[in-house]
């Protein structure tokens, strides 16, 4: 048995091992070539550990967007409701500012304009009739006023002429009559003592029986008559004072009559002026009403022209038509989309991100914009820089207003129910065929035009690889 075991090894080997001369030599268990894989594996592990600590993995967010001229892809909207009578352009047509692009039938405005024009004809007819009647009435009124004025002037002249004459003659007559009465009264008063003395003498003679009774009576009669005449003269003098006062009163009355006539003349002047003022006011009211209706007609005609004709507000090109002739449209309906020309403007990228990702983006960050018609794996994306981010989430309506095409916006954000952040980016130009700098190559043989939809990536951060592993290790170990 022992001999069989020994036969398994060579005799020379057994002797070499058992020889005491070579006991100080190490026994080779593994050859140097066998260490190469282990060394390579260790090196890889070391490199991986170093890379996991000092290496960086870019963190990107992705959104969808479109390339546009800033606020220059504008919708062409109907200003009013009506049937589209004509559409004078087609997709791709170049249009000029002020060019009529479409015509919309304005039935209601045309009916309203017809009614207002009929009202104007009626008002003008009424104005002509009223003016004719007014002229006739004015002639009659002026004639009556002139006749009355003439009568008053004649009466005034008579009164003014006669009043001083009557006053002068009346006063002179009263003065002469007073003088006569005063002279007579003076005579009578001078004779009265004589009559008194004669009466006394005859009464004395009568008592002596020298004269008859009739003689005494005759003397008494003369004396009494003288006294009566004196009383009458004095009464007449007083009556003359009253007559003079009446004459003076009549003179004052005549003066008042003159003033009244003059006032009536002034009243006639005022009446004529008032009639002229009333006629002017009536005429002004009619003319103002006619002018108001005329202005309304002009306004309706302008409104009809503006609302029935859809006019381009920009030089540009028709990108899309959304209606056809004969279609009934409402006010605000989008008829077409126009790419407004502005040589000074450059294309920009507008992209929409979910709020959680969009809030990570800041101005100045690098961005890659890849048109959906281009393979990212082959060409990469257009290099750009973030220029602005919306401060708050925006609505679809705001995005459509910015892009100019609600359908494009619907395609961009229809899958996103949460709010969206709007990001603008500037595209870096280059001498490539597309005119822009690409991240992985010179780019495709393709021109970038407004309205091109894109897929966009923005690098928002860089992280060490080990930071991705630590949370997993913590979850397994339970150490935090």
Model confidence at 10: pLDDT above 80:
no
Model confidence at 343: pLDDT above 60:
no
What are the sequence ranges of the domains in the chain? 59-72+344-477, 109-303
Mean pLDDT for 13-40 is 60
Mean pLDDT for 404-410 is 77
In the prediction, which pLDDT does 45 show? 75
Mean pLDDT for 94-116 is 85
pLDDT tens digit sequence for 91-103:
878 788 888 888 8
The CATH code of domain 59-72+344-477 reads 2.40.30.170
Model confidence at 1: pLDDT above 50:
no
pLDDT tens digit sequence for 287-318:
899 899 899 999 988 888 878 888 888 887 78
Mean pLDDT for 1-29 is 53
Nearest alpha-carbon partner for 63 in 361, 348, 443, 347:
361
pLDDT tens digit sequence for 423-446:
999 999 888 888 899 988 888 888
Model confidence at 402: pLDDT above 60:
yes
Rg of the chain in Å (alpha carbons): 66
Which whole-number Å values give the CA distances from 330 to 104, 398, 442, in the listed order?
10, 21, 48
Nearest-angstrom CA–CA distance, 24 and 64: 76
Answer yes or no: are the C-beta atoms of 347 and 450 closer than 8 Å. Answer: yes
Q: Which of 275 and 350 is assigned the larger pLDDT? A: 350
Q: Which of 222 and 384 is assigned the larger pLDDT? A: 384
pTM of this structure: 0.42
pLDDT tens digit sequence for 236-259:
888 877 877 777 777 777 777 778
Nearest-angstrom CA–CA distance, 60 and 423: 15
CATH class of the region 109-303: mainly alpha
């Amino acid at each position: 048995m022992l001999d069989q075991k020994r036969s398994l090894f060579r005799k020379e080997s057994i002797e070499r091992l058992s020889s005491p001369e070579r006991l100080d030599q190490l026994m080779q268990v593994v050859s140097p070539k066998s260490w190469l894989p282990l060394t390579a594996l260790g090196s890889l592990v070391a490199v991986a550990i170093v890379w996991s600590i000092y290496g960086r993995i870019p963190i990107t967010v992705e959104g969808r967007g479109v390339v546009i001229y800033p606020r220059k892809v504008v919708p062409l909207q109907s200003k009013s409701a009506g049937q589209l009578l004509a559409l004078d352009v087609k997709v791709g047509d170049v249009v000029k500012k002020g060019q009529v692009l479409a015509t919309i039938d304005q039935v209601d405005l045309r009916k309203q304009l017809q009614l207002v024009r009929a009202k104007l004809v009626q008002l003008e007819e009424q104005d002509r009739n009223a003016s004719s009647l007014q002229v006739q009435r004015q002639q009659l009124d002026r004639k009556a006023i002139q006749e009355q004025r003439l009568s008053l002037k004649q009466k005034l002249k008579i009164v003014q002429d006669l009043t001083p004459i009557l006053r002068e003659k009346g006063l002179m007559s009263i003065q002469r009559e007073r003088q006569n009465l005063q002279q007579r009264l003076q005579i009578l008063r001078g004779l009265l003592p004589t009559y008194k003395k004669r009466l006394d003498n005859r009464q004395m003679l009568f008592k002596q029986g020298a004269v008859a009774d009739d003689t005494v009576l005759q003397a008494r009669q003369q004396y009494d008559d003288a006294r009566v005449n004196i009383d009458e003269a004095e009464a007449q003098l007083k009556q003359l004072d009253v007559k003079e006062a009446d004459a003076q009163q009549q003179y004052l009355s005549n003066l008042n009559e003159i003033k009244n006539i003059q006032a009536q003349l002034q009243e006639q002047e005022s009446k004529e002026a008032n009639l002229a003022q009333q006629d002017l006011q009536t005429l002004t009211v009619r003319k103002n009403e006619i002018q108001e209706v005329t202005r309304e007609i002009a306004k309706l005609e302008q409104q009809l022209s503006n609302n029935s004709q859809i006019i381009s507000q920009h030089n540009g090109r028709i990108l899309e038509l959304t209606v056809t002739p004969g279609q009934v449209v409402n006010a605000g309906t989008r008829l077409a989309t126009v790419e407004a020309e502005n040589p000074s403007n450059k294309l920009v990228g507008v992209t929409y991100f979910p709020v959680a990702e969009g809030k990570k983006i800041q101005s100045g960050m690098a961005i890659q914009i890849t048109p959906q018609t281009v393979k990212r794996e082959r060409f990469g994306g257009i290099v750009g820089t973030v220029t602005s981010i919306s401060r708050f989430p925006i609505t679809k309506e705001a995005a459509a207003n910015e892009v100019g095409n609600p359908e494009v916006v619907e395609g961009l954000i229809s899958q996103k129910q949460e709010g969206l952040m709007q990001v603008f980016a500037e595209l870096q130009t280059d001498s490539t065929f597309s005119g822009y700098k690409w991240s992985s190559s010179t780019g495709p043989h393709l021109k970038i035009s407004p309205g091109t939809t894109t897929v966009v990536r923005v690098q928002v951060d860089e992280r060490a690889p080990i930071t991705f592993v630590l949370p997993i290790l913590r979850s397994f170990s339970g150490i935090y």
